[in-house]
Amino acid sequence: MKDQMIGSSVRRVDHEAKVTGRAQYLADMKFPGVCCGKILRSPIAHGRIRGMDASAALRVPGVLAVVTRDDFLNNSRIDPYYGPVFKDQSIVALDKVRFMGDPVAGVAAVTESAAEEALAAIQVDYEELPAVFDVLEARREGAPLVHEIIRVPPHGFEDLAGLRPKESSNICTHFQLTRGDVERGFAESDHVFEDVFTLPDTQHSSLEAHAVVAWVEPGGRIVVWSTTQNPFVIRTQLSNIFRVPVSQVRVLVPYIGGGYGGKLYPKLEPLAVALALKAQRPVRIVLSREEVFLTITKHAAHIRIKTGVKNDGTLWGRECEVLLDTGAYAEIGPRVAKKSGYTAAGPYRIPHVKINSYCMYTHKPPAGAFRGFGVSQSAWACESQMDIIAAALKMDPLELRLKNAYEEGDTFATGETLTNVGLTDCIKRAARAVGWGDRRPRNSSSPLARGKGLACLIKATITPSLSSALVKMNEDGSVNVYTGTIEVGQGSETVLSQIVAEELGLTMEQVRVAPMDTDVVPYDLTTSSSRSTFHMGKAMQLACQDLKGQLRELASQLYKVPKDQVRVEDGKVTIPDASLSYREILCTRFGMSGGNLVGQGVVKTSMLSPTGEKSTSAFWFLGAGAAEVEVDRETGRVRVLKYASAADVGKAIHPLGCRQQLEGAAVTGVGQTFFEQMVFDNGQLINPNFIDYVLPSLLDVPEVIESLMVEVPHPEGPFGAKGIGETGLIPVAPAIANAIYDAVGVRIKDLPITPEKIFMALQAQREGTTLEDR
Amino acid sequence: MKNFEYLEPRSVQEACQLLRQHGEEARIFAGGTSLSIVMKQGFFQPKYLVNIKKIPDLTGIRWDPKRGLTLGALVTHRELETSPLIQETFPILSQIEEDVANIRVRVMGTVGGNLAYAEPLTDLPQILIALEASIRVAGPDGDRTMSLEELFVDYYETSLRPDEILTEVLVPTPPPRTGIEYIRFSSSSVIDKPCLGTAVRFTLEEDLETVRTARVVLGCVAPTPLRARQAEALLEGKRYEVQRVKEAAAFASRECKPVSDLRGSEAYKREMVRVLVTRAAPRAFEKARAFRGQV
Amino acid sequence: MKIEEVFVVKAPIQKVWDFLWNVEEMVQCVPGVEGAEMLDPDNYRVRLKVKVGFISASFAIHMKVTEKHPPRFLRSVCTGEEDRRLSTLKQNNVLELQPLADGSTQVTLKGEVSLFGKLGTLGDSVVRGKARKMMEEFSNNVRTKIEAS
Amino acid sequence: MSRFITLSVNEVSRRVEVEPRETLLEVIRDHLGLTGAKLGCDIQVCGACTLLVSGKPVSSCSFLAVDADGCEVTSIEGLSCNGRLHRLQEAFIETGGLQCGFCTPGFILTAKALLDEQPHPSEEQIKKYMAGNLCRCGCYQEILDAIQKVAGRRAVQNG
């Protein structure tokens, strides 16, 4: 049993409930007395609210409460401002609306139709103001300001402490990273390349829409069921908004139907609680698909990248300007921009680096975390340009990467030392998987052309962060496990159970993960940043070790043997002359058929490594992707024949789960590469539905997807494991773009890579011009 | 969705009477795949839905060597796709149906609804027009027949009068030496609505070289399916030649009137019309030469 | 969404200008206009019914002339709200006239239309196609009316 | 305006009062408490709301409940029998054809309809039939494996 647990694709603990339709998601749950909450949204992109009249809405039969700015202006019991980094969002618009879809009022009614009728009855008088819809416009001198004042909370994230909004501008934050002297770097280079790359706004498109149910108990305790990936952040923010101790806020989370970063930080919770306070009833808000698109997006980006290279391919200097479009509210944009900046130089040793990464406000829906978190933006630029460089130097792109890629002990752009780096292995294995170097002869009469491309990445995890775990042993030796990690589909319940089962020598059936309830489980920062296996997994391991320590202590006391002669292994406690089950120990300890032992484990990462060096990331994600494509030169359509994803996972605790994560990320990457794009017309999103915002289907995925796991164990990770959730997504677009270039010689710099863009570039190529000339 | 009254007539006549009685406040309901979308959005709020699915004479696929193929208005996409009769007589129809929307829409959506709804981004009309299909229409004052081409007027707009019901589609038996090819082109996901669709049909003279009839029907490049008549005229009555196909394709590309939208710019769509006509024509020609009584 | 239409009217520039500057008359050439009322020479109230198949939408539109240089240039802004509050519409128009050598007049119409709210998500191709078609019909009507008078 | 309809849901006859505007999804979830079918996109694209009506997959989000009067409806809850999982359910677990699970009931029901119609589908047939169900977690390869596994097992049994 023991040797089978870690590294074995055991039956996942959530799957039976899911295949039988019995897994409960929030919209499936019944709450007595619940009423329906709906949101009135701004019809304009930017405007001042001159006046508002909700009296007619209150007269609609069945309406229980209407919440507008009047409930918060001059109300000292509620602080309507919130936001994970800056307090720039409010429960409903107070003075201005900042994007088309910005919440202006909320209604709670006994039926959905009454709520809708009430929304229509609210009169709002707007003074329309000029608006900006992209980062370049937003940066222009004299551009309309999204925010005149930005409130900075007194206690923020430690890693973002240095970031402040730039006054009287749309710059939300500016992150700078320099190493060496980039001008010198360029001067010493033989070649300098400069390119601009862009990515559009996209959306997570979890099939489950955001939902919340909130009520306020007599006595003021707030209870919130939410589809959130970080309940403890919600608890803190609600405690700040409604001015109650965190113990008076209880957040519960059922299974989540997909997150991908889209369900982090407050979304509907503040408004739902405000409505519930007023209605004195539980209020449920479930977003429509269109509203989901208006709630959170992935940052569009404009990236200028300039690279100096020596004749032999040595990267010598890189300057990069990243402009990320965070929309109307900062959300977690400042951190996205920071992470984007950190990795804009790519996973390469470059002595001279200068990076400026800006988080910019515009009058669009707020952008936040999305699987790949800023790195999928910067890697699009960096990894595409690598192949531009390789082509110019007539070098093999694989060779160029291997020449410069980080290896064990190299110094990262921040000056810190990189350890446990399986990058070059990932690159080589991904390349090998698509038969790198094998060339098929081209059939010149066919319009189809084949090509291969590569891309690789480095990404940080959120640091510092905190995860705590409790493991409660019952009288029969089975355990309940308490964790703040949310099962969003990534398999955390299973992996954490495996770790506990392994540590305590139990079967999977003896381990049960408790439901997520902030009243019960100890603090965890967030289920994001691919951090749960590493952090929570380790916390679980420590909790088990704590528990084993207690067992050892108890056995020593109860059986009067020296502690050093007690061993806890293979699910048993061994003392000289006897082997005792957990049950026996607990029974002896408590003298009845009941009683618990509780082990605790805490993982706190810091911005300083154990050796006192600066530490940007508790561990690094390293990986690579390789694609083989077939391009139809006459139409520009691309077929991905094969995609190989390689990631340094440290240790694959559940190999099938790792494969699912790598492959799933690759599939999302394919959508982002070829067609996903939110299209705006003067601030209006014109495709907020799955007919016009297209998602990848079974027929769009590469014909073969191979997932390769490189295992370079991390000393801090549980059994050596690192995170994996995001790694697979990041290289997809540049790897495919590079393969397209390899196939037909055109370079697409703006995502998505539509057939039209390829076709037009091919046409320009035939005419002997480049797209820029046209 | 706003509430409405749900009516279930038992005969075509009764259905027409209901439509006449309620005018613009009533709408025919069959598969409901398209109607439900606009109703949910609030774009259209009928007071009455007239469900015609309980009417017995509107179903069924029939084949008669002389008359051709008759499709009841309630025949679903999925029936077209899987019917052995269709696979034997008009395999082109079942082939294209495999790619229409998704399995659930094909199960629910009807041929009659697809045509009478006149949604611009769709596949079936191009093929049926290329095959010179006609439709039967019932009204309170009796039946009439018209060519399918005449049905389409504008986006979502047909020449049906408000109290008329499309009851049947008639596809004539293809003349000997006929071949048809349809290419559905998507510019994003394979399952996206078509960016454009191109049907090319030839009927050859006995020499198997000369084109007697040519049909080039373009979809999604105008408010209605569009016959590229200049392209057809260029091909008809002449020997089939690659060069002439290229010229015809260029004509078709100029004749259509695509709009720039999410699925491609006007310029790109024109180019693709050229490519697709060039690709479809030789396949249609080869099929015509190999004609064995089916298209 | 930008649309542009260029057409030639067989009439001298002044005649074309006079026709177009009679705004109450001119807007009748827009397909679907059900009534126009002058508030003052630069401001008009217009009712417009747009039909796409069995879906129809009625807008109450305010049109404001923001710049004019007779007989060559006219700039106007239209804002409107749909009766069921499903949508709002905003349109910037520029009309330019140019006399041609043969005595006729070339008319260039540039419009930037934004349809906000539910109707804006109806379907990009349909909205664009419909707008373009309305523009075409408008120019046809203008030409026919002037040439017939 | 409301009326009574009779449905056979997972082989149990149910009489429900519905309004014409109510969808089959609303009736199944809200009136009958079967919440396996999910509302995803609301416009027949994603397949999370798939139910089998007379054995065929439909988007219940857009299917009028009145239109289902007299029909046999199968939901995911009707697949497992006496606590024993259906072969497809078992195969999805074995191959890992799901992550968040929101799309899973729809996928399994669609796969069941496919295999009921065509016990030995080719890979191409499976892909075309299943392409209208979306899995945002991206488990397509594993889903394909699961269906092929069941189809293959049947082939062996039948052969």
Model confidence at A774: pLDDT above 60: no
Q: What are the chain D neighbours of B101 within 8 Å (beta carbons)?
A: 44, 132
State in words which class domain A379-461+613-773 has. Answer: alpha beta
Q: Are A455 and A383 in contact (CB under 8 A)?
A: yes
Mean pLDDT for all residues in chain C: 90
Mean pLDDT score of chain B, rounded to an integer?
96
Question: Distance between terminal CA atoms of chain D?
Answer: 54
Residues D74, D117, single domain; the answer is no
Residue C121 has pLDDT above 80, yes or no: no
Q: Residue A565 carries which DSSP code?
A: G
CB atoms within 10 A of CB B206: 9
Q: Which of D14, D45, D78 is the last residue of a domain?
A: D78
Q: Which residues in chain A touch residue C114, judged by CB atoms under 8 angstroms apart? A: 681-682, 684
CA of A667, closest CA in chain B: separation in Å? 12
For residue B180, what are the CA distances in angstroms to B247, B292, C147?
Answer: 19, 13, 46
For residues A265 and A377, is the Cβ–Cβ distance under 8 A? no
Mean pLDDT across chain A, nearest whole number? Answer: 96
Q: What is the CATH number of the domain that holds D153?
A: 1.10.150.120
Which residue ranges form the domains of chain C, and what is each CATH number? Answer: 2-148 (3.30.530.20)
Of all residues in chain D, what percent carry a pLDDT higher than 70? 96
CATH code that applies to domain A465-604: 3.30.365.10
CB-based contacts of B87: which residues, under 8 Å, 6+ apart? Answer: B94
pLDDT at A477 over 90: yes
Residue B192: its chain A contacts at CB < 8 A? Answer: 675, 694
Q: Say how far apart CA B271 and CA A756 lie, in whole Å.
A: 10
Q: Which residues contact A592 (CB under 8 A, 6 or more apart)?
A: none
- Dihedral (Cα; A500, A501, A502, A506), 10-degree rounding: 140
Report residue A326's pLDDT band, with 50, 70 and 90 as the boundaries: very high
* D96 and D55, same domain (yes or no): no
How many structural domains comprise chain D?
A: 2
- Average pLDDT of span A269-276: 98
Separation of CA B85 from chain center? 19
CATH 2.60.260.20 describes domain A31-129+204-295: no
**Is residue A1 pLDDT above 50, yes or no?**
no
Nearest to D132 among B2, B51, B103 (CB): B103
Query: What's the CATH code of the domain at D71?
Result: 3.10.20.30
Segment A335-357, tens digit of pLDDT: 999 999 999 999 999 999 999 99
* Helix (DSSP H) and strand (DSSP E) numbers for chain A: 19, 33
- B156 vs C contacts (CB less than 8 Å): 52-55, 126
Report which secondary-structure segment, H or E, holds A119. helix A112-121
- DSSP characters over C54-121: TEEEEEEEEEEEEEEETTTEEEEEEEEEETTSSEEEEEEEEEEEEE-TTS-EEEEEEEEEEEEEGGGG
Largest CA distance in chain A: 90
- What is the reported pLDDT for C84? 80
Residue A25, Ramachandran bin (φ over 0: left; ψ between -120 and 50: alpha; else beta): beta
Interface A:B, ≥3 CB–CB pairs < 8 Å: yes
Q: How many CA atoms, within 13 angstroms, populate the side-chain half-sphere of residue A712?
A: 19
What's the pLDDT score for residue C86?
A: 79
Q: Pairing mode, if any, of strands C2-9 and C105-117?
A: antiparallel
Contact B113, B38 (CB under 8 A): no
Alpha-carbon gap, residue C111 to A668, rounded angstroms: 38
What are the tens digits of pLDDT across the range A102-120? 999 999 999 999 999 999 9
Domain locations in chain B as residue ranges: 5-51, 60-171, 178-289
Q: Are A374 and A359 in contact (CB under 8 A)?
A: no
Query: Cβ distance B286 to B202 under 8 Å?
Result: no
CA A535, CA A756: separation in Å to the nearest integer? 44
CA distance A207 to A744: 36
**Highest CATH level, class, for B5-51:** alpha beta
Q: Which two three-digit tokens encode residue A296?
A: 């959170």
Give the residue among B61, B59, B62, B56 at the shortest CA–CA distance from B14.
B56
- Residue A564 at interface with chain C, using a CB cutoff of 8 Å: no
Q: Which CATH class is domain B60-171?
A: alpha beta
Neighbours of A111 (CB within 10 A): 13
The answer to whether the beta carbons of residues A461 and A717 sit under 8 Å apart is no
Chain D window 2-61: which residues touch B at a Cβ cutoff of 8 Å? 3, 19-21, 23, 42-45, 47, 50, 56-59
Indicate whether B76 pLDDT > 70: yes
Residue D73 structural domain: 3-78
Go through A627-642 and write b for each residue having 16 or more CB atoms within 10 A of its CB, e for each that does not.
bbbbbbbbbbbbebbb
Model confidence at A443, pLDDT cuts 50, 70, 90, reads confident
Angle at Cα B277 formed by Cα B274 and Cα B283, nearest 5°? Answer: 150
- Enumerate the H helices of A608-689 as residue ranges: 655-674
C27-64 tens-digit pLDDT? 889 999 998 899 999 999 999 998 888 888 899 999 99
What is the helix (H) or strand (E) element at residue A226, kind and residue range? strand A222-226
pLDDT for the residue numbered A3? 55
Q: Which amino acid is at B190?
A: V
- The candidate with the shortest Cα–Cα distance to A239, out of A78, A88, A70, is A78
Helix (H), strand (E) counts: chain C: 3, 7
Confidence of residue D153 (pLDDT cuts 50, 70, 90): low
Treating both helix axes as pointing N-terminal to C-terminal, what angle do A269-279 and A231-241 enclose, rounded to 10 degrees? 50
When pLDDT is averaged across residues A134-146 and rounded to a whole number, the result is 97
Q: Does B84 touch chain C (CB under 8 A)?
A: no
Q: Which residues of A fall within a CB distance of 8 Å from D127?
A: 698-699
Question: In terms of domains, do D68 and D48 share one?
Answer: yes
Residue range B178-289 in CATH 3.40.50.300: no
User: Given this model, what pLDDT does residue D115 score?
Assistant: 98
More confident residue, C132 or A509: A509
Domain boundary pick from D38, D56, D78: D78
Shared domain check, D139 and D98: yes
Q: Dump pLDDT digits (tens) for A562-618.
A: 999 999 999 999 999 899 999 999 999 999 989 999 999 999 999 887 778 888 999
Q: How far apart are CA B239 and CA A700, in angstroms?
A: 40
- Read off the pLDDT band of C23 (50, 70, 90): confident
Distance from CA of B45 to the nearest CA of C (A): 9
* D131 contacts in chain B (CB < 8 Å): 102, 190-191
**Rounded Cα distance, B43 and B38, in Å:** 5
CB A201 within 8 A of CB A402: no
For the segment B6-56, what is each residue's pLDDT rounded down to a tens digit?
A: 999 999 999 999 999 999 899 999 999 999 999 998 888 999 999 999 998
Question: What is residue B102's three-state secondary structure?
Answer: coil
Instruction: With CA atoms as reference, report the closest residue to A668 among A625, A622, A728, A709.
Output: A728
Domain ranges of chain A: 31-129+204-295, 379-461+613-773, 465-604
- Residue at a domain's end among D29, D61, D78: D78
Sheet order of strands, B26-29 included: B5-7, B48-51, B26-29
The shares of helix, strand and coil residues in chain A, as percent rounded to the nearest 5, are 30, 25, 45
Calculate how close chain B gets to A479, using CA atoms only, in Å. 45
| DSSP three-state, residue A325 | strand
Nearest CA-CA distance, residue A44 and chain C, Å: 8
Query: So what's the pLDDT on residue C51?
Result: 87
- Least Cα separation, residue D129 to chain B (angstroms): 6
Please give the full DSSP string across D51-118, using - where no structure is assigned.
EEETTEEEEGGGSBGGGGTT-EEE-GGGTSBTTBPPHHHHHHHHHT--SS-SSHHHHHHHHHHHHHH-
Is D122 found in the same domain as D94?
yes
One-letter amino acid at A627 equals A
